[in-house]
Amino acid sequence: MSPSDAIYAKVVARDPDQPEFHQAVKEVLESLEPVLEANPQYISIVERVVEPERLIHFRVPWVDDDGNTQVNRGFRIQFNGAIGPYKGGLRFHPSVNTSILKFLAFEQIFKNSLTGLPMGGGKGGADFDPKGKSDGEVMRFCQSFMMELWRHIGHDCDVPAGDIGVGGREIGYMFGMYKRLQNEFQAGVLTGKGRSYGGSLIRPEATGYGLVYFAREMLATKGKSFKGATVSISGSGNVAQFACEKVLDLGGKPVTFSDSSGFIHDPEGIDRAKLAFVMDLKNNRRGRISEYAKEYPSATFTPSAPEPSVNGLWNVDVDV
């Protein structure tokens, strides 16, 4: 048995019910296999890297608008802080569990280290679904969530950010609660805040813009560009919105958006007016992407397939 196979077998034996985490570990170990065979002194280091330094699991009780108490599960995986404070997002989605967060936190170690900045890897969140909740319900949940999380984070310890289900609204609610509990204004404790209270310039745009810049460089190696190209974009949240904006800046024609309910295809293209509609729909009204097809007759909406791994959006004929 190879060193990587032996390490993987131990991971599976310890946590047999975590398939998402197993997949992430297996992919990393397969790429490291030649290194481990040539340098067996690194095996013990890898054995440590695949085990999180700390796994925090807590109850999050909150009160809905009808006065009923609801209970969700909260998590923070502080996976590896060898080179700096833990850094990684918070995800609010019904699918959140230990396996998914360990998978995300594990990959975050390597993503952060590749930036060249002194940041460790972490991830967290809750099995709470913000969709369909009022602002008051989301606020009460975020405040309850932070009442437990605050003691485990800090700008020199662990710096959470947003992720699926956690945008500027949720970050604002959590930062406000953190500030009250800590009795201190730590601007570096949560990233993704509004600029008026310690956030960074162009932070909301950064991921979507970066995605398009990366794709632009890849296209350039083939002598291609976004100019005049039809472009398929998956999602309709923060990253997808600003990816669409940058594609338009570069002369491309975005034609798709999606969410968990399905995807829209607009052969006429998603221009800046249509993008503004999507931003209002998703950021303010918290609606579903199907409403786009009702607003613009040129578009069609296709519901999600019963099998979540099948995404019909990728069958749309586009250039990019």
Residue pLDDT, tens place only, 59-116: 999 999 999 999 999 999 999 999 999 999 999 999 999 999 999 999 999 999 999 9
Dihedral angle at the C-alpha atoms of 289, 290, 294, 300, nearest 10 degrees?
110
Distance CA 96, CA 145 (A): 14
Burial class of residue 115 in the structure, from the number of CB atoms within 10 Å of its CB (0-12 exposed, 13-18 middle, 19+ buried): exposed
Please tell me the CATH code under which domain 205-315 is placed.
3.40.50.720
**How far apart are the C-alpha atoms of 110 and 28, rounded to whole Å?**
10
**Paired tokens of 288:** 């579903």
**Residues 144 and 60: beta-carbon distance below 8 Å:** yes
Q: Report the CATH fold assignment for 52-197.
A: Rossmann fold (3.40.50)
Angstrom CA distances, 98 to 56, 91, 138, stand at 10, 12, 22
Q: What pLDDT, on the 0 to 100 scale, is given for residue 308?
A: 62
Find tokens 């350039």 and name the residue: 220
pLDDT for 131 equals 87
- Nearest Cα neighbor of 103 from 22, 31, 158 is 22
| pLDDT the model gives residue 273 | 97
Binned average pLDDT, 10 residues per bin, the chain of 320 residues: 94 96 96 94 96 98 98 98 97 96 97 95 97 94 98 96 92 97 93 90 92 97 97 95 98 96 96 97 91 96 79 92
Per residue in 210-243, pLDDT (tens digit) is 999 999 999 999 999 999 999 999 999 999 999 9
For strand 256-259 and strand 230-231, is the pairing parallel, antiparallel, or unpaired? Answer: unpaired
H helices of 51-159, where?
98-113, 135-149
Q: Which pLDDT value is given to residue 309?
A: 65
Same topology, domains 52-197 and 205-315? Answer is yes
Position 256 scores a pLDDT of 97
CB 205 within 8 A of CB 169: no
CA gap 128, 303 in Å, rounded: 23
Distance CA 207, CA 187 (A): 21
The catalytic residues are 123
Domain residues of the chain, as ranges?
Answer: 1-51, 52-197, 205-315
